[in-house]
Structure 1
Amino acid sequence: MPGQKNLFFLLFFFFLIFLNQQEIVCQGKESILQEIFHSNHEIREKAIHSLSAYDAKEIFSLLSPYCEDKSPDIRCYAIAALDSLDTCESYAKIASMLEDRNPSVAYRASQALSKNIPRSKDYLLSALKSNNIQSQYYALVAVEKGKDISFWDCVVFLSDSSSPQIRRQAIITLGSYSWEKTDKRFSLSVGILQKKLLDSDRLVRASAIWGLGQYDYEDKIKNIQYAARDDSWEVRCAALNALPKKEREENLCHFLLPLFHDSHWAVRYAAVKQAGKLSCSSLLEKLHLMLLESQEKEKVKAAICSALGEIAHPSSLPFLLQVWQSSSFVACQEADYALTTFAYLYPAQFLQIFRDKKRDLKLRCDCALLLGRVKAKSISPYLYGIAKDTQEKEEIRFQAIVLLSDFEGQKAIPLFREFLAQTSPYLQEAALLALGKMQDEEKLPEIFGFLSSPNTRLKETALWCISQFEFEKTKPFILQALKSKEANVSKAALLLIKHLGKEKEISTE
């Protein structure tokens, strides 16, 4: 009997351990589910990666109800979790969500299926052969991303669907395939796409010319020229984007020029962008004229600036400068990008503008900023003369000093020290900026002297300058400034200490 009692207690003990483990597992599952549907992306990702530690069937049964949740976000999170299970059941469930009422959820399902075509192939084929247009569409999206050629027959069949949406996606999918020219499907695909240039739906025609643009075949340019005359601006834009890069420039220019005059701004925009991408320098004159047209849309002008930047011919510089100084934000921004390229390639021209006293002051200063941006060190010898020119505007001398601090560094320190003693606050500010960059310890006493300056800007610049030095080098001067009888100096020192985060170190002194 004692032995039976011991056995009973032992079994009871193991039973309690088992129950405890089951409770831990349940708690673990509940916790992981909470994390899977957490609003934080990183927490969700971490939870999904940890699912491999659990039984896939159990997790699947727990996740399935969430696929019917009212929230599209929750349904999307469920798809991500199901995808990680990598089981037939999970992919079947994901495939069923191609019919989800929310486009984002259906799209997410298609993306999940496209990641593992071998596993999801049967479900995608079933969706492609179904009568549900939405399932067909999102299955085609998955096939396009997966680029699996085994679906080719289904894709071809759907290219003749009565639904324009399905035809469009089927055509896009055909265009995404890559074939060897010896493969009969190459010529068949080209033939199908060519026929679709006559489709009644404009977006199908646009998709067809885009698809043809992905293939290298004999009549490609003829098809593009045909599409470029289409009544729909979407098709004309697609034709422009289908242009091959290796085509001769004279042919490209002949093709692009009429489209510069297109009635729709989007086509003009696309034509101009292509002129830049394909470096059509023979179209520069026309691009310059378009840039000056007051009635042209700002987006098109911005595209012209971008194109001129890509072609990067010196003749475009005056036109870009004019736009650069205009009030148009969009075009001005693109002109700025283009001029950065020009400043890198032709720094001498920007130096010439910077030195020209007859030029607009803002333009000259902006050119200096560009030269600094591209680190045009070759202009350094000229900057000394500009900085020392007493007949020059202070703003220009200021820019010259700043550029010298970037280009010459320690070599120009004597000049910076000289300007620190100037009477002009503007030039003193430039010197402070330069000496701060150089961390010139010799002038620290003079730099600290500016903390008592009545000029707020100079005082702030001095504070910045001091903050560039190692704290141990400036500490004695800071302590001295704290003890100053001038309230503004001690206050400035306190601000500096706070900015440097050295309150504790100073308080122990």
Structure 2
Amino acid sequence: MASELAVLPRSNAVNLRLQAAKPVFGRHSIDPDKIAVALNNGKKEEVLPVLRHLTSAGKATIESLQAVECIGRVLRHRDPDVAAAAADALAVAEATGQRFEEALLQLLQREEVCVLAALAALGKMGPTIQPTRKALVVRQVAQCLSGNVPVRTRALRALAELKATRQALKIHDLLQAEKVPEVMGAAVEVLAQLSAMTLEAESCFPEEFREQKLGEMLGEPRLTYSALKAIAFLGPKAPASLLPRVTAKLAEADLSTRYAAAVALGAMAELVAASKETIDQLMAMLKSSDVSARAAACCAVAEMGSEAKLSRELVATLASDMEEAPKPQIASAGKRVPPQMVMPRCAAITALGAMGDREGAKVVAQGLLDKNWQVRLAAAEAMARLGEAANGYASGLIGLLRDEFHIVRAAACRAIGALRMPEALPGLAQAFEDPSAPVRCSALTAATELVRGAEEYCHEVFKAVTDREPEVRAAAVRCLARHEVLGENYVGVVAQQLLDGSPEVRAAAVAGLGQMGAAGRGFQDEVSFMMNDPSDMVRQAAAGALEQLGLRDSLAPIKPLAPRNTVGLRAALAPPDNKDPVEGLGQYYKNIMMKKSELIKCGKWIDDEIF
């Protein structure tokens, strides 16, 4: 049952980086037309590998290649493996449900492999399915609860994603009659999720029943993980009588169970703080001779945040605990173990950051200088949560901008942005050219909050618009658009990025125009044009930009378009004949263009054209 290690029911929960790593499509210059031809030729041996590759590559690549419509057509392929692979790709792309809803519902009547894939896709597309059709989708998904074990389990997960609160009674009845542990676990998790959404659904999981059922499941090894997840979803509404048993699970041998127990205690933080028995139990675990138990208890304290201040002094002593849990370093769900779960000092630093007080800030700052990169990483992430308590420790974060590990440098950039440390801006500007794309992106994102009044760094941000990585270009565009003083001088540069091949960059550009006030309204036609973009992300950004510019009410309903055509947009952005190509873009931008030749000569200009 420990198949989803990274569940964090609380939005403010500590991120222990348990997300599964996604395969990367790689740098590519693939022609979208070739992808379309490969998907449309109908041959299984050619279509199936392309679909699986796109699924591994992820949403951004699928949108960049404009392959969503072609994938949707493959849903009707006669071969069940191909149809299922198409549904898997659409689930990853999180495509608009209303376009593929009918074809996916038809897959529910086919072979098991198709049913499983269709249920997963319908769950992912749930938020985009039209309300008038959602009831029909929910009913057909609920009918799958009478299928075999894999189908029942997947149908339950889909109902949770569809927020099908009116199916709570049916799930309650299923839970009472079900004998298969996998289905029982999924049912109790989903019922707990739905109970947290509406009082009607909560009435189908009454207090006495939940206490009895969850208590029974905590005693069954195959159901413990699901019971802990359900308790986490219930949060303050979870049975307080189960607190001692949940706390005891912090000492379990299975990593997934320990982590789920830590999350559950964090969700029940108020109940924990009011229970002297549980506090004493946690205190004893923090002093345990078992290093794994100490680390797990610290993680629970971190999840509890400010409610756990009673144990601050004891947690602080663990920040110097040099012991580590023995390997293997792989969780039962196949994901790499986060250092907080095996190294008490990492967990202690994370917990002190979550508490957010000045007394713990000194201990966290010391972790920035630790010899172990995992401790430095935990300290940088903890600093970002300290707020005002981190004042005076900027030098430690600035030093991490030169760390040998890129993941630590990126965390330092994020912390600087979260804490808004203007003294770190020179170091961030150097990080704009870091060899690692995640570091460059994090540095530009952090600078978005700091560069507003610092004119001398705008040109460095401006150069990043030509970065080879789309996420970096998008961050640069957002940074330029947010500058309160000079932003309007770069409006033409921001607008030009509407032609970028990456949906992330186009979305950043159109959103940026919406933030640029009068300067952005000069490009209202271009922003309106982006409502026809094939990417949902871009269309949503365009709708938001038009609302910010006060232009949303004047729009007619937008119909979905076929593959993206940028000819009209290029014509709109092109300067008229016999007109100064930089006219209207601001004197500051003109000065930059005049200096371009000088920068090229001295080797400081990136050798890519902006236009």
TM-score normalised over the length of structure 2: 0.47
Shift, 1:161, TM fit: 3.6
1:157 to 269, 275, 284: 284
- CA displacement at 1:116 relative to structure 2: 6.6
Which residue of the partner structure matches residue 401 of structure 2? 260
Are the equivalent residues in 1 in contact too, given 2:416–2:446 (CA < 8 A)?
yes
Residue type of the alignment partner of 1:239: A
Q: Does 1:240 align with 2:380?
A: yes
Residue 259 of structure 1, CA deviation: 1.1
Post-superposition CA distance 1:155-185 (Å, at most 9, x none) = 12222344444322211222344668xxxx8
Unaligned runs of 5+ in 1: 1-29, 53-58, 384-399, 407-436, 440-456, 462-509
1:121 aligned partner, one-letter code:
A
Counterpart of 1:237 in structure 2: which amino acid? L
1:274 aligned residue = 415
Which structure: greater helix fraction? 1
- Residue 388 of structure 2: SS of its match in structure 1? coil
Aligned with 1:125 (options 244, 266, 270)? 244
Over the aligned positions, Cα root-mean-square deviation in angstroms equals 4.5
Superposed CA deviations along residues 46-86 of structure 1, whole A, max 9, x for unmatched, are 2324688xxxxxx5xx73562534xx355311454588433
Q: How far did 1:144 drift?
A: 1.9
The structure 2 residue matched to 1:47, chosen from 147, 160, 167, is 167
Which residue pairs with 2:464 in the alignment?
323
Shift of 1:217: 4.8
Map of 1:416 onto structure 2: none
Q: Which amino acid aligns with 2:244?
A: L
Is residue 193–residue 211 contact of structure 1 (8 Å, CA) maintained in 2?
A: yes
Residues 32 and 47, structure 1, Cα contact 8 Å, conserved in 2: no
1:191 aligned onto 2:309? no
SS in 2 for 1:230: coil
Q: Which has the higher contact order (CA 8 A, sep 6+)?
A: 2
Please, which of 284, 294, 304 is the counterpart of residue 425 of structure 2?
284
Residue equivalent to 2:438:
299
Equivalent residues in 2 for 1:5-44 (5 A)? 34=146, 38-39=155-156, 40-41=158-159, 42=162
Contact 1:265 1:297 (8 Å CA) reproduced: yes
Task: Tell me if the contact between 1:124 and 1:139 (Cα under 8 Å) persists in the aligned partners.
Answer: no
SS in structure 2 of the partner of residue 198 of structure 1: coil
In 2, the alpha carbon distance for the partners of 1:88 and 1:248 equals 45
Deviation at 1:325, TM superposition (A): 1.5
Match for residue 227 of structure 2? 109
Q: Return the offset for 1:306.
A: 0.7
Match of 2:544 in 1: none
Match of 1:333 in 2: 474
> What residue identity is the alignment partner of 2:266?
E
- 2:445 counterpart letter in structure 1: S
In structure 2, the residue matched to 1:63 is: 175
1:75 partnered with 2:215:
no
**Amino acid corresponding to residue 191 of structure 1 in structure 2:** E
Q: Distance in 2 between matches of 1:191 and 1:404?
A: 54
Q: Secondary structure at the match of 1:231?
A: coil
Q: Is the 8 A contact 1:79 1:109 kept in 2?
A: yes
Q: Which amino acid aligns with 2:217?
A: M
Answering whether residue 295 of structure 2 is matched by residue 168 of structure 1, we say yes
Query: Structure 1: how far apart are the matches of 2:417 and 2:488?
Result: 24
The amino acid of 2:388's aligned partner reads K
* 223 and 373 in structure 1: CA distance in 2 versus 1, 3 angstrom threshold: same
- Secondary structure at 1:85 match in 2: coil
Q: Distance in 2 between matches of 1:79 and 1:197?
A: 34
Q: Is the 8 A contact 2:410 2:439 kept in 1?
A: yes
1:92 counterpart residue number = 212
Match of 1:350 in 2: 490
| Cα distance change on mapping 1:369 and 1:290 into 2, 3 Å | same
Tell me the secondary structure at the aligned position of residue 449 of structure 2: helix
For 2:524 and 2:314, the matched residues in 1 are separated by: 66
What is the aligned partner in structure 2 of residue 228 from structure 1? 368
User: Quick one: distance in 1 between partners of 2:387 and 2:187?
Assistant: 42
- Give distance in 2, aligned partners of 1:337 and 1:374: 10
Give a deviation string over 1:76-121, Cα, whole Å, max 9, x none: 114545884335455333234346666xx64431132342767633
Q: Say which SS state the counterpart of residue 193 (structure 1) adopts.
A: helix
Length, aligned pairs only? 339
Q: 1-side partners of 2:450 and 2:376: how far apart?
A: 23
Q: Report SS of the residue matched to 1:242.
A: helix
- Counterpart of 1:498? none
Q: Quick one: which amino acid aligns to residue 75 of structure 1?
A: G
| Larger Rg, first or second structure (1 or 2) | 1
Question: C-alpha separation between the residues in 2 aligned to 1:90 and 1:215?
Answer: 31
For residue 145 of structure 1, report the CA deviation from its aligned partner: 1.2
State the alpha-carbon separation in 2 of the partners of residues 370 and 67 from structure 1: 51
TM-superposed deviation, 1:208: 0.4
Structure 1: which amino acid aligns with 2:387?
Answer: K
Task: Kindly provide the amino acid, as one letter, of the partner of residue 153 in structure 1.
Answer: D
After superposition, give the CA deviation of every residue in 1:337-390 in whole Å (9 maximum; x if it has no partner). Answer: 222213x652442268799xxx99x99xx999787443542588xx7xxxxxxx
- Given that 2:225 and 2:260 are in contact with CA atoms closer than 8 Å, whether structure 1 keeps it comes out as yes
CA positional deviation for 1:206: 1.3
Cα offsets for 1:18-44 (capped at 9, x unmatched): xxxxxxxxxxxx999749974551596
Q: Is the 8 A contact 2:441 2:475 kept in 1?
A: yes
Letter in 2 for 1:171: C
- Work out the CA distance in 1 between the residues paired with 2:245 and 2:524: 72
Structure 2 gap ranges (5+): 1-141, 196-203, 325-338, 501-505, 530-552, 556-566, 572-611
Alpha-carbon distance in structure 2 between the residues aligned to 1:267 and 1:338: 22
CA pair 404-179 structure 1, distance change in 2 beyond 3 A: closer
Amino acid at match of 2:470: F
1:290-336 superposed Cα distances (whole Å, 9 cap, x missing partner): 3234xx21110111111111212322221122111122222112112
**Preserved CA contact (<8 Å) 1:179 1:186:** yes
**C-alpha distance in structure 1 between counterparts of 2:347 and 2:284, whole Å:** 16
Q: Helix, strand or coil: the match of 2:355?
A: coil
Residues 98 and 106, structure 1, Cα contact 8 Å, conserved in 2: yes
